[in-house]
Amino acid sequence: VNQLKELIRRIDLPLHEHLQTHGVDYLQFSFRWMNNLLTREIPLPCTIRLWDTYLAESDGFAIFQLYVCAAFLLHWRERLMQEKDF
């Protein structure tokens, strides 16, 4: 979770600061992403493809998961930046 926070801070400082300003703790959303490997966030066919990559990555599994979660945040960036009440 802390690695995701640091990664977003480095690649999209305005988004990171927006989340911090509005009291969003990365633990609130990313713990479930990390714990369930995104199975509750994406459709089953996408989950199967994602998990196939997880299994193929072996040693790079954790890093790949981190970047997938960061990509989720960047994908929703515009919507997140408009939110004031989380």
Domain that holds residue 65: 2-82
pLDDT digits (tens, 9 = 90+) for 14-56: 999 999 999 999 999 999 999 999 999 999 999 999 999 999 9
Say what the pLDDT of residue 84 is.
94
Say what the pLDDT of residue 12 is.
99
Q: Decide if pLDDT at 79 tops 90.
A: yes
Asked if residue 33 lies in contact with residue 72, where contact means CB atoms within 8 angstroms, the answer is: yes
State the CATH number of the domain containing residue 22.
1.10.472.80
How many CB atoms sit inside 10 A of residue 4's CB?
21
58 or 71, which is more confident: 71
**CA pair distance 18, 82, nearest whole angstrom:** 9
What total number of domains does the chain contain?
1
> Which one, of 55, 79, 3, lies nearest residue 34 by Cα?
3
